[in-house]
Amino acid sequence: MLELRLVQGSLLKKVLEAIKDLVNDANFDCSATGFSLQAMDSSHVALVALLLRSEGFEHYRCDRNLSMGMNLGNMAKMLKCAGNDDIITLKADDGSDTVTFMFESPTQDKISDFEMKLMDIDSEHLGIPEAEYHAIVRMPSSEFGRICKDLSSIGDTVVISVTKEGVKFSTRGDIGTANIVCRQNNTVDKPEEATIIEMTEPVSLTFALRYMNSFTKATPLSSIVTLSLSSDLPVVVEYKIAEMGYIRFYLAPKIEE
Amino acid sequence: GSKQPTITRFFSKV
């Protein structure tokens, strides 16, 4: 028996909007720790890891570890039917091939049930090793989203270079080149507007903008994004989900031939 | 030119 009640149902709506275009089908894993997902995109270039900790739910009942295969497009369709202020409850019985999403309006005057078919998904679970990153950039998520969008109108790839002075995003295409430098800036009034760079050594890596743009669909989940970079390692683009967990995107850097 | 490696090149199956 599984029953998860999330008062801030909009979080789950935003999570699905963030990942549904990157991943088609995925297993949601439910355990005492929380509600989680790890999945690769169809070309196995990017990986998404989601964790919503059990403590973040108003009610969290998971009698035994359960893996539920879902089509994320279909799940997003169902969650779109929940209001932004609705409380969302996920329910599944042991051995059942369906999951039920219950939406309650804040005033309890409208209660909806949506039952969705589960699917069997053969998914590979990857071990993500702990890594010491050469550079960690923390910046406003809206700024990062804007940069990825702007650069993708000029080129297909972005070179992210971090030095003590700042982080540089560069691209080149048929019409020309673009460089955007964000300097370290931790003296702003609001912490969510700061750009903070922790660096042990300079790093410069090239990534496909198509994937970066897809990751920025998680922007509504957090005002801050963290980019963790190391030579020859996938970048980690992390959006923290307030008091609940995170959504992390991993993208393999392009390699010069 | 540049090549796009897969994520499985960096992270192994468990």
Q: Which residue of B has its CA nearest to A44?
A: B6
pLDDT band at A66 (very low <50, low <70, confident <90, very high): very high
Percent of chain A exceeding pLDDT 70 equals 100
Q: How far apart are CA A249 and CA A55, in angstroms?
A: 23
pLDDT in tens, A133-166: 999 999 999 999 999 999 999 999 999 999 988 9
Q: Measured between CA atoms, how close is B8 to chain A, in angstroms?
A: 7
pLDDT band at A189 (very low <50, low <70, confident <90, very high): confident
Q: Which residue of A has its CA nearest to B13?
A: A126
pLDDT band at A257 (very low <50, low <70, confident <90, very high): confident
pLDDT in tens, A1-48: 899 999 999 999 999 999 999 999 999 999 999 999 999 999 999 999
* B3 pLDDT more than 80: yes
* Residue recorded with tokens 């369709």: A77
Cβ-Cβ contacts under 8 Å for A243 (sequence gap 6 or more): A56
* A188 pLDDT more than 90: no
Are the beta carbons of A152 and A163 closer than 8 angstroms?
A: no
pLDDT in tens, A93-112: 988 999 999 999 999 999 99
3-class DSSP assignment, residue A60? strand
pLDDT band at A236 (very low <50, low <70, confident <90, very high): very high
Q: How far apart are CA A70 and CA A28, in angstroms?
A: 7
Instruction: For A220, list phi and psi in degrees, rounded to 5.
Output: -65, -15
Tell me whether residues A257 and B7 touch, CB distance under 8 A.
no
Tell me whether residues B2 and A256 touch, CB distance under 8 A.
yes
> Which tops the pLDDT comparison, B13 or A34?
A34
Dihedral over Cα of A128, A129, A132, A134: its sign:
negative
* Residue recorded with tokens 């700042």: A166
Q: How far apart are CA A168 and CA A182, in angstroms?
A: 6
